[in-house]
Amino acid sequence: MFVYADNAATTAVSKKVVEAMLPYYTEVYGNPSSLYTVGQKAKEALEDARERVAKLIGAKPREIYFTSGGSEADNQAIISAARLGAKKGKKHIISTKFEHHAVLHTLQALEKEGFEITLVDVHENGVVVPSEIEAAIREDTALVTVMYANNEIGTIQPIAEIGAICKAKGVLFHTDAVQAISHVHINVVEQNIDMLSISAHKFHGPKGVGVLYARGGIVLTNVINGGAQERGKRAGTENLAGIVGMTVALEDAIAHIDENNEKFAKLQDKLIDGLSKIPYSELNGDRNSRVKSNVNFCFEGIEGESLLLLLDDKGISVSSGSACTSGSLDPSHVLLAIGRPHEVAHGSLRISLGEDVTEEQVDYIVKSVTEVVEYLRGFSPFWDDLVEGKRPHVFKESSIA
Ligand SMILES: *Cc1c(COP(=O)(O)O)cnc(C)c1O
C-alpha cells in the first residue's frame, strides 16, 4: 500500500490546477509587462488572479504581492517592518520560539544588525498566550510576528486576539499562515492582520509561488531588486502560470475547508487513539487547538529517522522532527520549545493528512507504526536502559486518559 501522509511538507498539484496552468505556458505566454496583445492578456490574467486571491482573505487587490513562496514572503514582511521601525528608532521585534526557519533565520540576521528579538514561550501545549505577547510589547517594538499554525505540531495560535492587541498598541503584526490558510477561515481585516504569508505548494498548488499580503499604507522593502513588477516591490517577470495555479488551488482549498476538516477530524481521532496505545508515547501539541490534518507523536527509545525510513519501506511517506537528513543532528526546535527533552524529541513522527487519505490507510499507518516502534525498540540500547530502570522514563506507560 502506498500512503502519502506528509502534506505539511508539500502536496500533489491537483489535476484541475495543472489544467488551469497549462494555457499560460503555451498560449498566453506573453510577458505581463509587454504592451502587445499577448502580453496584455497575460497582464489581465495576473490582475484577475490578484483580485481573486485578495477576495479570499478579505484584502484589496493592491495589498497582494506575488512572491516565490512562503519563505520569501516571510523574509520580505519581516525585513520591511524592521526597516520601517528603524526609521522611527524602533528596533525590537517579538516572535515565538517555534516559528518556521524562514522567520527565525530572518530574525537572527536582523539581530546581527542590532535589532533586539524577544521570542515568547509556546508552552507545553504549543499555543502562545496573547497576554504574554502584550506584556512583551515595548515603546520600541517594530513588529510582532506569530505563525498561524505550526508546521510540525499543527497547533493553531490565537491570531485574532494577538491582532487586536497589536492594533490597540499600534504595532505591526505579521503572521506566517502557510500551514493555516487551507484549514482555518482567515480574514485579514476581521483578524487585524497587517501582513500575512502563504505558499501555494502546501494546498495543491505549484511549488515556487506564494503571496505576501501587506495592508495598504505599509511600505515594503524589496528583497529582490530589479524591474518594476509588483508595484515596484518585487522584481522579476511574474510566474504567471504558477500564480494562476495558486489562485485556483486556493479557491478550491478555501471552499472545502469545513468539509475537509470534518473528514480529517475523524481520521485524526483514529490516529491519535491508535498511536496512544503504543507504550511510552505521547501526542505533541494541544489536542484541540490544532489543524485537523496534523498528528505528531514522540516515542521513547526511538530514532525518528529510522522510524521514517522503515515506514517508507512499508510504502508510507511521513516525516520526523529529527533532522539528520538535513545535515544536522539537532532535534526539532519546535519539540524543544514545547519542553520535550532531547532524547524524546529525537523520536518524533509527523503525519499530515491529505484529502486522498482513506480510513483503511489510517489503519495501515497505525498498524505499521506500532510494529516498527516495537521492532526498533527491540535492539535499542537506549530502550534497554529504560526497561532496566537505568534511566527514568519521560512518559507514562499509557497516555490514554
Ligand atoms: C512550508 C513553509 C514555509 C516555506 O514556504 P516555501 O514556499 O516552501 O518557501 C514557511 N512557513 C511555514 C509555516 C511552512 O510550513
**Could you tell me the distance, in angstroms and rounded to a whole number, from the CA of residue 241 to the centre of ligand 1?**
20
Cell 511549488 sits on residue = 207
Confirm whether 324 is a catalytic residue.
yes
Pocket test for ligand 1, best of 100, 184, 198 (most atoms within 8 A of CB): 100
Q: Give the pLDDT score at 163.
A: 98
Residue closest to 171 by CA, chosen among 197, 191, 145: 145
Q: Give the pLDDT score at 325.
A: 46
Task: Name the burial class of residue 226, with classes exposed (0-12), middle (13-18) and buried (19+) by CB atoms within 10 angstroms of its CB.
Answer: exposed
Contacts within 8 Å (CB) and 24+ apart, 307-314: 307/347, 307/349, 307/369, 307/372, 307/373, 307/376, 308/349, 310/372, 310/375, 310/376, 311/368, 311/369, 311/372, 314/1, 314/368, 314/372
From 324, 336, 387, 394, the catalytic residue: 324
**CA 47 from chain center: how many Å?**
26
The rounded distance, in Å, linking the Cα atoms of 307 and 300 is 12
Q: Give the pLDDT score at 322.
A: 55
Q: Give the pLDDT score at 281.
A: 97
Q: In this structure, how many other beta carbons lie within 10 angstroms of the beta carbon of residue 27?
A: 11
In ligand 1, the atom with minimum distance to the C-alpha of 9 is 1
Q: Give the pLDDT score at 330.
A: 81
Task: Name the burial class of residue 165, with classes exposed (0-12), middle (13-18) and buried (19+) by CB atoms within 10 angstroms of its CB.
Answer: buried
In ligand 1, the atom with minimum distance to the C-alpha of 71 is 9
Q: Give the pLDDT score at 103.
A: 98
The rounded distance, in Å, linking the Cα atoms of 61 and 210 is 15
Nearest residue (by CA) to ligand 1, atom 14, is 178
In ligand 1, the atom with minimum distance to the C-alpha of 73 is 9
Which stretches of the chain score pLDDT less than 70?
322-329, 401
What lines the ligand 1 site, CB under 6 Å? Answer: 69-71, 74, 100, 102, 147, 151, 176, 178-179, 199, 201-202, 210
The rounded distance, in Å, linking the Cα atoms of 262 and 265 is 5
Q: Give the pLDDT score at 83.
A: 98
Spatial contact of 319 and 295, defined as CB atoms under 8 Å apart: no
Dump strand ranges (E) for 201-254: 210-214
In ligand 1, the atom with minimum distance to the C-alpha of 70 is 5
**Could you tell me the distance, in angstroms and rounded to a whole number, from the CA of residue 66 to the centre of ligand 1?**
15
Pocket test for ligand 1, best of 156, 179, 293 (most atoms within 8 A of CB): 179
**Could you tell me the distance, in angstroms and rounded to a whole number, from the CA of residue 73 to the centre of ligand 1?**
9
Q: Which residues pair with 396 in a beta bridge?
A: none
The CA-CA-CA angle for residues 259, 265, 268, to 5°, reads 140
Q: Is 66 helix (H, G, I), strand (E, B) or coil?
A: strand
